[in-house]
């Protein structure tokens, strides 16, 4: 008998075709967001769950999962939506999909930097609403990216790709991480042992760190004060790293010139003032949203399932 796999969201066609070939999938063709009760009910008799970051597999939800569930193979690189301790306590393996998102997320980070610096949202609105009248030397003046200092919080896989792309703009790379990287991975980037050491060197600040209690509201009012006046903040990691009230206040005062955001607290019901500010460039959590990357994420999740159900250790096990 092929293992039964509950798939919580609509996945790319190629991924679902492979699921049908190798498993007994319970698919979600309408791409509905399952509430916790429905997710638990649909898991009855299943051997595995393939969730996305949109599902909150809390300790309470995991405690209610049927005993038949043996593995949670996430369709995401992040796994903060799963209570790993609760899964481990029940003997449920948890995996993620690292590495395959790096290029797409780095591309999106560069888009956020350019969009925020060059006032892309404002400009597009002017064109679409026919408010663009003429050209003048003072019209829609933004901030140049080329040659500026880019600070990266988290120089992991995505952070290193972002740094490589940013060097194409002759940017000087600074970074903070839990520890200094080997020289070959730094590639000339300048290490700062604390966020406080990093922030004064950031004309642009990009977050590529994971969501942990230590990174929650990492960018708060005290740390924003350490940024150069007119810095630009971009975030394609997790919304929890930013204190929304503090960033919004800084955007209003001009301490932060602009922000480019792809992730938020309480998605999709984000802080309403972000929508109202003219100096925000906002994307709807699409860092990995390329056809190539979404296929690769699905195949990586299925590789983890294949390994588990053939008695091998999944390569991307996180619990």
Domains of the chain: 4-100+291-309 (3.40.50.720), 102-282 (3.40.50.720)
The whole-angstrom separation of Cα 46 and Cα 4 is 5
pLDDT of residue 309: 98
pLDDT of residue 121: 97
pLDDT of residue 243: 98
Is the whole model's pTM more than 0.85, yes or no?
yes
- pLDDT tens readout for residues 225-265: 999 999 999 999 999 999 999 999 999 999 999 999 999 99
> Which residues have CB under 8 Å from 44's CB, separation 6+?
66, 68
The whole-angstrom separation of Cα 233 and Cα 207 is 8
pLDDT of residue 238: 94
Compute the C-alpha angle 28/30/35, nearest 5°: 65
The whole-angstrom separation of Cα 179 and Cα 176 is 8
- pLDDT tens readout for residues 113-148: 999 999 999 999 999 999 999 999 999 999 999 999
38 is catalytic: no
- pLDDT tens readout for residues 29-57: 999 999 999 999 999 999 999 999 999 99
Q: Check if the beta carbon of residue 138 is closer than 8 Å to that of residue 203.
A: no
Percentage of residues of the chain with pLDDT beyond 90: 99
Compute the C-alpha angle 99/105/110, nearest 5°: 140
Rounded to the nearest integer, the mean pLDDT of the chain is 97
- pLDDT tens readout for residues 271-295: 999 999 999 999 999 999 999 999 9
The whole-angstrom separation of Cα 266 and Cα 62 is 21
From 160, 174, 201, 238, the catalytic residue:
238
How would you class 100 by CB atoms within 10 Å of its CB: exposed for 0-12, middle for 13-18, buried for 19 or more?
Answer: buried
122 is catalytic: no
Q: What is the CB-side half-sphere exposure of residue 60 using CA atoms within 13 A?
A: 4
From 119, 285, 294, 300, the catalytic residue:
285
3-state secondary structure the chain: CCCEEEECCCCCHHHHHHHHHHCEEECCCCCCCCCHHHHHHHCCCCCEEECCCCCCECHHHHHHCCCCCCEEECCCCCCCCECHHHHHHCCCEEECCCCCCHHHHHHHHHHHHHHHHCCHHHHHHHHHCCCCCCCCCCCCCCCCCCCCEEEEECCCHHHHHHHHHHHCCCCEEEEECCCCCCHHHHCCCEECCCHHHHHHHCCEEEECCCCCCCCCCCECHHHHCCCCCCEEEEECCCHHHECHHHHHHHHHHCCEEEEEECCCCCCCCCCHHHHHCCCEEECCCCCCCCHHHHHHHHHHHHHHHHHHHCCCCCCCECC
What mean pLDDT do residues 98-109 have?
Answer: 96
pLDDT of residue 41: 98
pLDDT of residue 276: 97
From 38, 196, 267, 292, the catalytic residue:
267
pLDDT of residue 11: 98
pLDDT of residue 259: 99
222 is catalytic: no
Q: Check if the beta carbon of residue 256 is closer than 8 Å to that of residue 250.
A: yes
Local confidence band at 185 (pLDDT 50, 70, 90 cut-offs): very high
What are the structure tokens assigned to 110, written together? 């560069």
């Amino acid at each position: 008998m092929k293992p039964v796999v509950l798939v919580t969201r609509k996945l790319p066609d190629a991924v679902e075709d492979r699921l049908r070939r190798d498993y007994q999938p319970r698919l979600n063709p309408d791409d509905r967001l399952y509430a916790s009760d429905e997710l638990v009910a649909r898991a009855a008799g299943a051997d595995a769950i393939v969730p996305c970051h949109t599902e909150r597999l809390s300790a309470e939800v995991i405690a209610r999962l049927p005993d038949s569930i043996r593995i949670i193979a996430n369709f995401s690189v992040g796994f903060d939506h799963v209570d790993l301790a609760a899964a481990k306590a029940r003997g449920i393996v948890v995996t993620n999909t690292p590495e395959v998102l790096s290029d797409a997320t780095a591309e999106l980070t560069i888009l956020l930097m350019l969009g925020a610096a060059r006032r892309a949202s404002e400009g597009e609105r002017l064109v679409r609403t026919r408010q663009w009248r003429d050209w003048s030397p003072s019209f829609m003046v933004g901030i140049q990216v080329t040659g500026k200092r880019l600070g990266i919080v988290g120089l992991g896989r995505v952070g290193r790709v972002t740094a490589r792309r940013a060097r194409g703009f002759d940017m000087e790379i600074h970074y903070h991480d839990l520890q200094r990287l080997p020289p070959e991975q730094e590639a000339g980037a300048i290490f700062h042992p604390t966020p406080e050491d990093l922030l004064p060197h950031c004309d642009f600040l990009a977050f590529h760190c994971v969501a942990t209690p230590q990174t929650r509201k990492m960018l708060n009012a005290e740390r924003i004060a350490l940024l150069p006046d007119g810095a630009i903040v971009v975030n394609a990691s997790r919304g929890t790293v930013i204190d929304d009230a503090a960033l919004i206040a800084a955007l209003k005062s001009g301490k932060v010139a602009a922000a480019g955001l792809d992730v938020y607290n309480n998605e999709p019901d984000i802080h309403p003032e972000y929508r109202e500010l003219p100096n925000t460039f906002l994307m709807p959590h699409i860092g990995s949203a390329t056809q190539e990357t979404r296929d690769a994420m699905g195949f990586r999740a299925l590789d983890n399932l294949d390994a588990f159900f053939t008695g091998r250790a999944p390569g991307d096990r996180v619990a």
